């Protein structure tokens, strides 16, 4: 029994998001089953242009399954899903071209240099060499790593790798970037610098869809959804969620939702 009201149908108005609430992700009654196991149980939510959307949940709640579907890597059992304006069933390749993806586990090729990695990803996304050159210089300058352009990725400190992986994931100016636990294991200062990059991307109009186990990072999102056993149990701004559950921080919101279910 869920002792809390159902927010799933509600899309709260978004304060401070100027882009007239333009939807870049639309999910209606998304169901994904593996045999008799229901991994995603009627998910309903929208994500807006430029929004930083936190996608939280306990291990095994169904986050990865949903994220794979949104990235066009897996098909839903039923339901309607549009990403970047494209239908996830019929226009999978267009979806892939309009999104970026970064995870802690897979990001860049360790045995290629910084410049080689950028060239590789530019090739994949069909960025022309002239454009690539200009953007690459800009990227190296922004991250202050111009001197390391010919260093192998494997030789770089973890913090650099993660910032670079993020910059490469948005190199082709996708409408949405999916970040799967991007800050795991990094030191507290680097972790916060990484969020500076997330804010910059959001200011440029890129929607950021992010999972994390750090509950303080949930506070930095415009809105947060919390999944449990395949369902979205809560979806709102961090401020409203804290008020709704009568607690001081997102950690407690998370504990209330995940623990009450057991």
Partner 1 sequence: MISIQNISKSYKDVPAVRDISFEVQKGELFGLIGPDGAGKTTLMRILMTLLIQDEGKATMNKLDVVNDYKEIRKIVGYMPGRFSLYQDLTVEENLNFFATVFKTTVAENYELIKDIYIQIEPFKNRLAGKLSGGMKQKLALSCALIHKPEILVLDEPTTGVDAVSRKEFWDMLKKLQKQGITILVSTPYMDEAVLCNRVALMQKGKVLDINTPQKLIENYTRKLYAIRSKDMHQLIQDLRAWEKTDSAFAFGQYLHVTGKDDEVEATEFENYLLKKNHLELQVFDIPPTIEDVFMDRMAEQ
Which of 124, 188, 204, 243 touches partner 1 by CB under 8 A? 188
Closest CA to 83 of 178, 199, 173: 178
Span of 110-118, 130-138, 170-178, 188-196 interacting with partner 1 by CB under 8 A: 188-196
Q: Report the residue from 3, 16, 126, 246 that binds partner 1 according to the rule CB under 8 A.
A: 16
Residues within window 47-86 making contact with partner 1, judged by CB under 8 A: 57-60
Residue 190 sits in the site that holds partner 1 (CB under 8 A) = yes
DSSP string, 125-142: TT--HHHHHHHHHHHHHH
The one among 30, 172, 238, 241 contacting partner 1 by CB under 8 A = 238
Least separation in angstroms between CB 113 and partner 1: 19
Enter the tokens of residue 57: 């949940």
Run of H or E including 145: none
110-169 binders of partner 1 (CB under 8 A): 157-158
The enclosing H or E element of 39 equals: strand 37-48
Identify which of 209, 125, 211 has the alpha carbon closest to the alpha carbon of residue 168: 125
Beta carbon nearer to partner 1, 54 or 79:
54
SS3 category, 53: strand
- Region from 17-25, 70-78, 86-94, 187-195 binding partner 1, contact rule CB under 8 A: 187-195
Complete DSSP assignment for 79-102: EEEEETTEETTT-HHHHHHTEEEE
One of 1, 20, 134, 189 touching partner 1 (CB under 8 A):
189
Nearer to partner 1, 92 or 244 (CB): 244
Rounded distance, CA 96 to CA 248, Å?
39
Tell the smallest beta-carbon distance from residue 12 to partner 1 (Å).
Answer: 17
Least Å distance, CB 192 to partner 1, is: 5
Strand partners, 86: 83
| 4, 106, 120, 199: residue in contact with partner 1 (rule CB under 8 A) | 199
Minimum CB–partner distance for residue 242 and partner 1 (Å): 8
Q: How many residues does the chain have?
A: 262
Q: Which is nearer to partner 1, 73 or 158 (CB)?
A: 158
Q: Which is nearer to partner 1, 137 or 144 (CB)?
A: 144
| Tokens standing for residue 152 | 């192998």
Handedness of CA 15, 20, 24, 28 (dihedral sign): positive
Residue with tokens 């440029």: 204
What's the DSSP call for residue 156? S
> Footprint of partner 1 on this chain (CB under 8 A)?
16, 57-60, 157-158, 181, 184-190, 192, 195, 199, 203, 213-216, 219-220, 238-239, 249-251, 254-255, 258-259
């Amino acid at each position: 029994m869920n002792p809390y009201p159902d927010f799933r149908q509600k899309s709260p108005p978004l304060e401070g998001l100027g882009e007239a609430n333009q939807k870049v992700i639309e999910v209606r009654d998304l169901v994904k089953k593996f045999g008799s196991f229901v991994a995603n149980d009627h998910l309903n939510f929208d994500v807006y242009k430029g929004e930083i959307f936190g996608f939280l949940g306990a291990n095994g709640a169904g986050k990865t399954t949903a994220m794979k579907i949104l990235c066009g890597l897996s098909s839903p059992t039923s339901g309607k899903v549009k990403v970047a304006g494209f239908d996830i069933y019929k226009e999978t390749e267009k979806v892939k071209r309009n999104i970026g993806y970064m995870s802690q586990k897979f990001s860049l090729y360790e045995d290629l240099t910084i410049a080689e990695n950028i060239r590789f990803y530019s090739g994949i996304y069909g960025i022309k060499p002239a454009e690539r050159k200009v953007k690459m210089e800009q990227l190296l300058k922004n991250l202050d790593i111009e001197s390391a352009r010919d260093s192998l990725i494997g030789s770089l400190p973890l913090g650099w790798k993660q910032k670079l992986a993020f910059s490469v994931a948005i190199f082709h100016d996708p409408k949405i970037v999916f970040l799967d636990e991007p800050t795991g294991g990094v030191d507290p200062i680097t972790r916060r610098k990484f969020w500076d990059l997330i804010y910059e991307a959001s200011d440029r109009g890129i929607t950021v869809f992010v999972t994390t186990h750090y509950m303080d990072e949930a506070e930095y999102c415009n809105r947060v959804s919390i999944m449990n056993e395949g369902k979205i149990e809560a979806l709102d701004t961090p401020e409203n969620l804290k008020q709704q559950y009568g607690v001081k921080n997102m950690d407690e919101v998370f504990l209330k939702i995940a623990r009450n279910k057991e």
